[in-house]
Each structure stands twice: as structure tokens, then as C-alpha cells.
Structure 1
């Protein structure tokens, strides 16, 4: 029987802004530019499908949180405003997920920062954000902004009935200052049900685990030369990044069994002006995935988190086996 390489592609659908500029959100063009980049990507995927005979599926993780509400007086403005576009993506086989950011505004300092301590505020942000987006779509998947979780937030999203979380970056952590704070240093690469005591791991006692399935992002080792410029040894796999980086992802795939490649990108990553990130890089990496998998005699299956969990996972005693 042919082994499979499952490929999940998620898009953290954030607006094209510099977050350190408090007035950077401009309703007239911020989301329009973001949406235009998505439309260009879908056109490119259509051409790719004709050439390869395979159709990549995207999980669109959409913003619905307090920052969006403050800026547009609507918790899920980009979801409602472009609802027809998202419905088109569902018809093409894509999935709609949720991408809440814990951005909180400090009026005294006139800055946005990542709130990770005030659980009452976090509850309000996540509960309202989920409530509003779930009016428009059934949300089965979530990817937290900046990949942040702690036991409290994992418990909260699990209580919403969301089935899949894609926030984990195995083995990585970042202390940050005002943003980009996360801790997955004890997490392995395999999907698991998070422990109620430590969201980063699975508990050997199934009764101590959450019902939500964690599907970690795949990591790659930064090429040795580039470590002169990049402090991290390992990074999460961004499919729009230059192939000189992304090709290292194939070193972390176990080719003699069912394997999972969980990658991501942002709308700002698929422009044409940046040599490091681009729409062309996205397509080149897609081609490399298929070419290398075929050489290894693996069948490539582009899939959404919901399809992965429902069709290709067997759960026994809370242990996940890919089939």
C-alpha cells in the first residue's frame, strides 16, 4: 500500500500592517490589499492544479478578536466584509478556521502589546471573538496569534468545542517583550491531545487530556550559513519562504511511514517584492514537495485539519495514528 505525505497549509490571515504603528489600520485599504494577495494566490493555485493534477487546500485562519473590534466596531469585520470570498474558498475545498490575537491597547504608552497574564481580559477577547465568528462559520480549527497558548487558553478553546488546534511549534519558545511570546519547548512533532496540566504534552493517562487535537507545525533546521544572521537554530515551516530554507524541511520527514507536513504563511508573505518570501516561492515549494515525495514513493495528500482528523487518524486510548 502506498504511504502518504499529508500536507496541511494554513494561512494566518492578518492585515498587511506594521503593528507598531498605532494608526496603521486604515479601513480603506488595509484589508483590500490583504484580500488581493489571497485572490492572486488562488489564481496561482488554479494554474498549479492544471499542471500537477493536485489541488492544494488552504485553511484560512481568520481574525475575530478585540483588536479587530476596537478598530472596526465589529469583532470579526474581515469575516463579514469579505464573506462571499470565504464562501468561495469553502466551495473549492478549503476550510475556515479562527486566528485570534491577544493584542491589547495600552493608552498611556500608545502601543499594542500581547496580553498573556490577565485571564479575565483573555476570556473576554476569546469568548466574544469565537461567539461572533461562529455565527458565520462552523469553526473546527484554531491557530492562536503568535502561536501563544497556556493552560488557561487551551482549556478555553477546548471548552468551545473546537476540534483542532494548530498553534504548537515543537521544541521552540520565544520570550519576547511586547509580542510574539510563546512556549512549546517540551512539545514533540506528532499530533496529540494536550494534557490539562501542561498544554505542551500528552498525558499518559487519557482522562487527563483535552478533547481538542493538537496538530503541530513542522519545523526545519536553519542552514548553517544563515545562522550568522538568524539567531534561531530551528524555525517553523513557512511555505512562502525561499526554497533554500524550506527544502530543509524534508530532512524532518520520516519517509518510510505516513507523514505530516504542516506549514503556514501570511498574506504579506506572498507578494512579489521580497526575495525571502514570495508567491513564486510558494509555488516552487509546492513543486518541491510533490517532486521529492514522488521520488520517495509517497502519495501527496493536500488536506485540511478537519479532513486530516476525520479521515486519516485512528484514535486508540487517546493515541493518534495516521493511516
Structure 2
């Protein structure tokens, strides 16, 4: 009998952020609070990976990229003690203007600069963040290569087969392996030579409707 290993991961996103019609201005956290109150009880023997938001949107709204890490510091410490893992989960958005929705910073150079800036703001946090997942599930070769330079050994952003480029969203994982792989230096969707950073995809399956 084949043995399958599962990773249970949780993105600590605010309510209303979905892949079909995301409300990027929403900063209500009822879903996160529910998960923090009940998931350990429901899954007592299963370690979880919590991908914790830390980005410019939280800095703009709450004054610090560390907001969720500091606001729930005791919970994160206890989670780590039970065997859970934390990861960094930034959403790279422009600052909202008026009633307009924030937009994704898709320019690769700007994205690298923003990730670097946020990472500098996370220095000194006494909680380990060994893995990474990009908000809204996209990457460029430059953003992924930056993570490797920053010391991340695992990225878990890819959704193999998902391609939203027709809607001008940067999320495009068409052809990406549906298993862990070392990303090619110039194409995040292709397996390349062994490197320090491993891509662990959010696996996808085809079902007949």
C-alpha cells in the first residue's frame, strides 16, 4: 500500500480573501481567531504550519509588519512547543487609495525590493520562520531567488496546473510539477538543478465534474 505524507497548512489571511473575488481591503480576522481557538483541539496529534501574514498592508493598517506575530505571540509560542511550524506569508499590495482595492505589486524588481524591506522589518522577531508562501500564490524567478538568498529552504506557493494569467493575475503554475521540486533559476514552473530552496507545492488533483 502506498504511503502518502500530508502537510496541513493554514494561511492566516483576513476574512473575505478568496481566489475568485478577493476583497483585499478586508482586515477582519474572525476566521483566524476561530482557527486559533479550535484547530489544535480538532487536530490534537497533527502538527500544523501556520503561514503568518507579515507585510506592508498590515504595516499601513496597524503600524508594523510584525502585527500578527506580536498580537498573538503567546499563541505562536505555544503552537511551536506542540510541534507546529510558522512560515512567512506576505501579500504584496499597493497602498489603497480612497475606496479602490489594493493591487498586487507584480513588477519583479519592485516585489524584490518590497520583500527585502519587509524582511528587514522582521529581523529581531524571536519566532522562527523557516518556510515561505507568497500571498495569492505567485512568484517570479527573482522573488524565488531572493528567498534562497535570505536563507529559506522551503517555499510552498505553487499550485500546479493553476493559471490565472488570462485575468491579468500573476498566478501561473501551468506545467509545474505536482510534487516537491527544485525550481529552475529562470523558470519557477520548471524543475532544475539541486539548489538550497525546495518548492513544496499545494498539490492539485483533477476530478470529473
Structure 2 length normalisation: TM-score?
0.87
Kindly provide the CA deviation profile for residues 166-220 of structure 1, in whole angstroms up to 9, marking residues without a partner as x: 1111122112657x531111211121111111121122xx3xx542101111112
2:202 equivalent among 198, 214, 217: 217
Greater C-alpha Rg = 1
Quick one: distance in 2 between partners of 1:139 and 1:132? 13
Kindly provide the CA deviation profile for residues 93-135 of structure 1, in whole angstroms up to 9, marking residues without a partner as x: 0101011111213527722111112523x23321232233353
Residue of structure 1 in register with 2:38 after alignment: 40
Quick one: distance in 1 between partners of 2:148 and 2:114? 15
Q: Which has the higher helix share?
A: 1
SS in 1 for 2:128: coil
Retained in 1: the 8 A contact 2:164–2:172?
A: yes
Residue of structure 2 in register with 1:193 after alignment: 182
Distance 1:21 1:7, change over 3 A: closer
Kindly provide the CA deviation profile for residues 200-251 of structure 1, in whole angstroms up to 9, marking residues without a partner as x: 1122xx3xx5421011111122341xxxxxxxxxxxxxxxxxxxxxxxxxxx
Residue of structure 1 in register with 2:71 after alignment: 81
1:133 equivalent among 122, 134, 137: 122
Residue 32 of structure 1, CA deviation: 5.8
SS in 2 for 1:119: helix
Count of residues in Structure 1 that have an aligned counterpart in Structure 2: 204
SS in 2 for 1:89: helix
Structure 1 length normalisation: TM-score?
0.58
Q: Any residues of structure 2 matched to 1:1-323 within 5 Å, and which?
A: 4-17=3-16, 20=23, 22=25, 24-25=26-27, 30-31=28-29, 34-46=32-44, 55-107=45-97, 110-117=100-107, 119-120=109-110, 122-136=111-125, 137-175=127-165, 177=167, 181-203=170-192, 206=193, 210-224=195-209
Kindly provide the CA deviation profile for residues 63-90 of structure 1, in whole angstroms up to 9, marking residues without a partner as x: 1111111111101201111010011110
Q: Which has the higher strand share?
A: 1
Residue 6 of structure 1, CA deviation: 1.1
SS in 1 for 2:15: coil
Bigger relative contact order (CA 8 A; separation at least 6): 1
User: Runs of 4 or more off by more than 6 Å in structure 1?
Assistant: none
Q: Which runs of 5+ in 1 are unaligned?
A: 47-54, 225-323
Quick one: distance in 2 between partners of 1:134 and 1:191? 28
Distance 1:155 1:219, change over 3 A: same
Quick one: distance in 2 between partners of 1:9 and 1:39? 17
Kindly provide the CA deviation profile for residues 240-275 of structure 1, in whole angstroms up to 9, marking residues without a partner as x: xxxxxxxxxxxxxxxxxxxxxxxxxxxxxxxxxxxx
Distance 1:20 1:170, change over 3 A: closer
Distance 1:21 1:163, change over 3 A: closer
SS in 1 for 2:190: coil
Distance 1:85 1:102, change over 3 A: same
Distance 1:125 1:223, change over 3 A: same
